[in-house]
Structure 1
Amino acid sequence: MNTAVATQSESRGSLLPMAIVGMLFFIFGFVTWLNGSLIPFLKILCDLSDFQALFVTFAFYISYTVMALPMAAILRRTGYRDGMAIGLGIMAVAALIYIPAAQTGNYAIFLLAQFGLGAGLTILQTASNPYVVKVGPAESAAMRISIMGLINKSAGVLAPIVFTALVLSGLTDFHAEGIAKLGEAERATRLSEVANRLVMPYIYMAVMLAALVALVKFSGLPEIDEDAGVDSESKSGIWQFPQAVLGAVALFTYVGVEVIAGDTIGLYGSKLGVANFASLTSYTMVFMVIGYVIGVVGIPRFISQQTALLGSALAGGLCVLGVVFSSESSTAISTALWGWSGIPVIPDAVTFVALMGLAHALVWPAVWPLALEGLGKYTAQGSALLIMGIAGGAVIPLAFGHISDIAGSTQLGYWVALPCYLFILFYALKGHKMRSWK
């Protein structure tokens, strides 16, 4: 009887932290995927070139690199629960900065707000990912992170829908060509009216984030014991943990190929004349969701975290070979996989790009527990280092574009993903086991 009560109590004890952290992962996804809607909106509102508009993404992601280690220092002082609350507070303040940005139409203020949101997310990610790893059994950590990934991606689906409903509803004539035809005074009035539509949504966001600050602060979330079983005197810094440093490189390569698979598939499809090229990213996202479901169901019941990472690396490499060597005209593979469902089929080479989403879906969930194992008091620094790996999403796609331009072929640009998967393979086989550089 006492054993049953204890088991139920333990179950309830882990359910609350997972539920609250799940809300945070929803916030990660919502704010991150909102960038895709903001870029074309601000491009028109602030009269930007494509290059200038992409600074929306740059300002957001560069904050991960700039702020990761400072945020880790804060986290080390405050603990994980208070660190999460601080991150949410920073995001609430950043959301309010969108109000003067919208009222003035000043692009620099918009970028400041973006950087602020990214900074808040940096400490949230730095705290929440190891929290998910440590809050339950180590062998099922990848399964828990997979659940968070499903929540994250569902927010990504909702973000553009909500933005369209709250900001763009009824603005059928809000496009660059239509705005350009207006007189100067009329154009200024029109842009001001549209910009003011951003005010209330970001007020709502600030209020919601402030409420989450209170929830996290007073929820009684347990702190995790990061020092247990570790001889902290034997190490002098995070750089003496090869599993963490190499894990950050593995995530750098992973985020790079994730962005390539999700963001270049539409470009590739448009060059091949695929009719539904604008929706091709959803193909990659669906396969990623399937991968997360496999992680939730299979880890650790049927496969270990190491096996999942090994399988992801091998499958990713095969997908790259499939992209560069398969037909750009035949649709045989997609016809066999889903042609019966009525979903539009796509060329074989493009299908392999979408399948990359399935192949590497479990890399992020698997790397985190392997990289943080044994870090003890350096867990916060290790988490910050892993978060810095997100910069791969900015760097590696540029290499893809450069190779594509030089080769004169988008298909050949996907070669850049092969060494990324090979490094993930190395980490799965050896890197995560290393405890010394000697």
Structure 2
Amino acid sequence: MEMAINKVQSRSTVLPMLIIGTLFFVFGFVTWLNGSLIPFLKIVCDLNEFQALLVTFAFYIAYVVMAIPMSMVLNRIGYKNGMVAGLGIMAVGAVLFIPAAQSSYYALFLIALFTLGTGLTILQTASNPYIVCIGPRESAAMRISCMGLVNKGAGIVVPLVFTALILTGMDQFTPEALAALTAEEKASRIAELSNRLVQPYIYMTAALVALMAFVKFSPLPEPDLEETMMGDVKTQPQTSVLQFPQLVLGVVALFFYVGVEVIAGDTIGLYGQNLQVANFGTLTSYTMAFMVLGYLVGVSCIPKYLSQARALQGSAIFGLLFTLGVMFGSSDSHAIAELLFGWTGIPTVPDTVLYLAMLGFANALVWPAVWPLALDGLGKFTATASALLIMGIAGGALLPLVYGYFAHSSGDSQLAYWVMLPCYAFILFYAFKGHKIRQW
């Protein structure tokens, strides 16, 4: 009888996971496009390193500004309709890229990115607690890891597609090549590069509208969050979501995590460009590939061989070690890349670039592990708690700017990666002790 019930529960989770998995692919496609957009817009809009990283600020600050309003929207219209609304907002953001590309006006690019981030906010606020609640709590990190595989799989594909469609023939857009042109010739060449964005974003808009219709007419059920996450009512005397230390500290952990994840994924192209790495436009794919490897570890090992807390502890330790590798490794030697994958024909990269990419492996299991640990026993506070966790994504807006400031002001983009060390140190604290605290 118990086996029959388990089979029914398993079948009941397959369809929702497929639909949510499709949305996670969209998250990855839109989010990890930023890593290729940053060096592209640096050329098109003539930006310095700090200004170029406003791309990440405009995109991720939307999660802070819009998280609470979007949670109110979800409570009013439901999770499924909220996902449809989020996709619609993203379609508007994709449309805005077209006049931005035609005008090469940086502020319009930033508005388009903020709009995309707003749509993603409601999608993330709805989908992450949905995946946590859809099955047993102890395997929640495994399910989120499955979603992460799809998300980061998109992150591998996007830079390759972007490079093939947009970044071909970039030798004619180097500072030296542009300096040799007259003002009129330079403006014409930059406009030609910028207009390469128009057609891809037309396709993206059409895909988002089609996905809206798919989700709207799909049999995706509403999650019963109240029933699945109540826990022991006797242990819940709290009257405010801020009275749960495991949640508040989890928000801080996610703030630092998203910051280091974005630094590893979105600055690697700029860093490679500074080192004159030929394939700098595809370097985000390297970070995403290591993240996929980390998610495979999560899917195969959690919870059977690895607890969610233990996975988080290992992630923080690897993060500290790889950050030290970025700071003090060689920017000339390709020895590590030659050893790991040089024999496959994949272009090798300097050791410091590879350490930066390997942070993808360290980061992979942080998000899947923090969510179930932070939401443990939240019950009726789950929707608001999820919005607060989503607000932790603000780390992706602020910490890359902190890195960009130190990289630009010091002139040393390699040592500026020290900003990640305190971030991983806090994640390590949360993994060992923070998530266990139940009273302030």
TM-score bucket of the superposed structures, by smaller chain = 0.7 to 0.9
Distance in 1, matches of 2:43 and 2:280, equals 23
Distance in 1, matches of 2:152 and 2:321, equals 25
Residue aligning to 1:287: 290
Specify the code of the residue in structure 1 equivalent to 2:362.
A
Conserved 8 A contact 2:79-2:126 = yes
Distance 1:353 1:93, change over 3 A: closer
Q: Secondary structure at the match of 2:218?
A: coil
Distance in 2, matches of 1:312 and 1:203, equals 38
Residue aligning to 2:72: 73
Distance in 1, matches of 2:144 and 2:307, equals 14
Specify the code of the residue in structure 2 equivalent to 1:35.
N
Distance in 1, matches of 2:196 and 2:275, equals 38
Supply the RMSD in Å over aligned alpha carbons: 3.7
Q: Which consecutive unaligned segments of at least 5 residues does structure 1 have?
A: none
Specify the code of the residue in structure 2 equivalent to 1:69.
I
Structure 1, 25-34 or 380-389: larger mean CA deviation: 380-389
Distance 1:134 1:101, change over 3 A: same
Q: Which consecutive unaligned segments of at least 5 residues does structure 2 have?
A: none
Specify the code of the residue in structure 1 equivalent to 2:437.
M
The one-character-per-residue Cα deviations of 1:127-148 (angstroms, maximum 9, x if unpaired) are 1111111111111111111111
Residue aligning to 1:435: 438
Residue aligning to 1:424: 427
Within 5 A, what are the aligned runs for 1:300-379?
A: 300-321=303-324, 352-379=355-382
**Aligned pair count?**
435
Distance in 2, matches of 1:332 and 1:160, equals 24
Specify the code of the residue in structure 2 equivalent to 1:81.
K
Distance in 1, matches of 2:137 and 2:302, equals 11
Which has the higher relative contact order, 1 or 2, with Cα contacts under 8 A spaced 6 or more apart? 2
Distance in 1, matches of 2:187 and 2:351, equals 47
Q: Report the alpha carbon displacement of residue 22 of structure 1 after superposing the two structures with TM.
A: 0.8
Conserved 8 A contact 2:156-2:288 = no
Distance in 2, matches of 1:188 and 1:324, equals 37
Distance 1:56 1:380, change over 3 A: same
Residue aligning to 1:17: 16
Distance 1:133 1:334, change over 3 A: same
TM-score, scaled relative to structure 2: 0.83
Conserved 8 A contact 1:226-1:375 = no
Structure 1, 211-220 or 253-262: larger mean CA deviation: 253-262
Distance 1:320 1:135, change over 3 A: same
Specify the code of the residue in structure 2 equivalent to 1:181.
L
Q: Give the % identical residues.
A: 62
Q: Secondary structure at the match of 1:303?
A: coil
Residue aligning to 1:248: 251
Conserved 8 A contact 2:19-2:215 = yes
Q: Report the alpha carbon displacement of residue 405 of structure 1 after superposing the two structures with TM.
A: 7.5
Q: Report the alpha carbon displacement of residue 299 of structure 1 after superposing the two structures with TM.
A: 0.5
Residue aligning to 1:222: 221
The one-character-per-residue Cα deviations of 1:176-215 (angstroms, maximum 9, x if unpaired) are 645973663x776666666555444323222221222222
The one-character-per-residue Cα deviations of 1:266-313 (angstroms, maximum 9, x if unpaired) are 666787898877766554433322111100100011111111112222
The one-character-per-residue Cα deviations of 1:398-434 (angstroms, maximum 9, x if unpaired) are 4445666888866654443332222112212222122
- Residue of structure 1 aligned with 2:241, choices 228, 238, 242: 238
Q: Secondary structure at the match of 1:30?
A: helix
Within 5 A, what are the aligned runs for 1:67-106?
A: 67-106=66-105
Conserved 8 A contact 2:260-2:420 = yes
Q: Secondary structure at the match of 1:227?
A: helix
The one-character-per-residue Cα deviations of 1:309-344 (angstroms, maximum 9, x if unpaired) are 122223333444555666777777666655666767
Specify the code of the residue in structure 1 equivalent to 2:255.
F
Within 5 A, what are the aligned runs for 1:146-161?
A: 146-161=145-160
Q: Secondary structure at the match of 1:380?
A: helix
Distance in 2, matches of 1:115 and 1:237, equals 30
Q: Secondary structure at the match of 2:438?
A: coil
Specify the code of the residue in structure 1 equivalent to 2:204.
M
Specify the code of the residue in structure 2 equivalent to 1:211.
A
Specify the code of the residue in structure 2 equivalent to 1:62.
I
- State the structure with more CA Rg: 1
Conserved 8 A contact 2:159-2:284 = no
Q: Secondary structure at the match of 2:225?
A: coil
Q: Report the alpha carbon displacement of residue 46 of structure 1 after superposing the two structures with TM.
A: 4.5
Distance in 2, matches of 1:276 and 1:108, equals 28
The one-character-per-residue Cα deviations of 1:215-234 (angstroms, maximum 9, x if unpaired) are 22221212222222354984
Distance in 1, matches of 2:318 and 2:191, equals 50
Specify the code of the residue in structure 2 equivalent to 1:132.
I
Is 1:384 the equivalent of 2:383?
A: no
Specify the code of the residue in structure 1 equivalent to 2:393.
I
Specify the code of the residue in structure 2 equivalent to 1:357.
G
